[in-house]
Amino acid sequence: MTAPAKRPGRRPGSADTRGEILDAARAEFASRGYEKATVRGIARAAGVDSALVHHYFGSKDRVFLAALEFPLDPAVVLEQVAGDATGIGERLARFVVGLWEVPQTRERLLAVLRTIASNQEMAALVRGFAQPRLIAPLAARVGGTDAEARVEMALAQIIGLAMARYVLGVEPVASLGSEELVALLAPALQRLLG
């Protein structure tokens, strides 16, 4: 008599398989980097079948976003700024300011910002994730020989604004209303991206 074949998926005895997958993913991304980490490696480290990782998260991108509690999907950013070049600065400014003005999202964004500012490995992970999913596609939409540099400069403006407003509390930036903020940020982004 043979033993029954091992079924893929959730292993018995664990109430928090999703959490264990996320723990394994954090360790895999930290040790191997985004590009070299694999869903199979994450599954192996968590002691589950890779189909279960796909069941919970769908893709390596989604596992990464969940593992880092990254509050922003690059595909959503691209969708929000899509359209003609003449309004890209305002669309991006409105999207960014809108994200930061939601308290729960702001907390998660601040956690990511503080982490990448103080942890080179995490900063490299986020860059490795964002470059092909956000920066390169946005640069392709913007066009021109220096498009990637202009996109990076626009992101630097956004990160600088976040640091000044939400981390350092620089006045008067910290107390500006959302519309005032958009009105000041949009032209700068438009010059870079339009």
What pLDDT is recorded for position 170?
96
Region of 53 (left: φ > 0; alpha: ψ -120 to 50; beta: rest) is alpha
For residues 51 and 9, the answer to whether their CB atoms sit within 8 Å is: yes
Residues 38 and 131 grouped into a single domain:
no
List the domain range (segments joined by +) for residue 35.
17-67
pTM (predicted TM-score): 0.72
Q: Residue 2's pLDDT band (boundaries 50, 70, 90)?
A: low
pLDDT at 13: 40
Count Cβ atoms below 10 Å from residue 53 Cβ, excluding itself.
Answer: 27
Distance between CA 177 and CA 19 in Å, rounded? Answer: 38
pLDDT for residue 6: 52
- Say whether both 54 and 101 belong to one domain: no
Residue 1: pLDDT band by 50, 70, 90 thresholds? low
Work out how many domains the chain is built from and give that number: 2
The closest of 154, 72, 80 to 110, measured between CA atoms, is: 72
Same domain? 47 vs 129: no
Predicted pLDDT at 67? 80
85 and 142 housed in the same domain: yes
pLDDT category of residue 8 using cuts at 50, 70 and 90: low
3 found inside a domain: no
pLDDT in tens, 14-55: 558 888 998 888 888 767 777 788 999 999 999 999 999 999
What are 55-112's pLDDT values in tens digits? 999 888 888 878 877 777 888 888 888 888 889 999 999 999 999 998 888 887 887 7
Smallest CA-to-CA distance from 70 within 123, 104, 111 is with: 111
| Residue 7 belongs to a domain | no
Decide if 92 contacts 78 (C-beta within 8 A).
no
The answer on pLDDT for 158 being more than 90 is yes
Q: What are phi and psi of 10, to 5 degrees?
A: -65, 130
Peptide bond between residue 172 and the one before it cis (omega within 30 degrees of 0): yes
* Band of pLDDT at residue 129, cut at 50, 70 and 90: confident
- Ramachandran angles phi, psi of 6, nearest 5°: -70, 130
Q: Is 5 part of any domain? A: no
CATH number of the domain residue 52 falls in: 1.10.10.60
| Whether residue 135 sits in one domain with residue 88 | yes
Q: How far apart are CA 53 and CA 64, in angstroms?
A: 11
DSSP 8-class letter at 47 = T
Classify residue 155: in a domain, yes or no. yes
User: What's 159's domain CATH number?
Assistant: 1.10.357.10
**57, 105: one domain:** no
More confident residue, 135 or 61: 135
Residue 8 near residue 51 (C-beta atoms within 8 A): yes
Point out the domain boundary residue: 67, 88, 105. 67
Which H/E stretch holds residue 9?
none
Q: Are 64 and 159 in contact (CB under 8 A)?
A: no
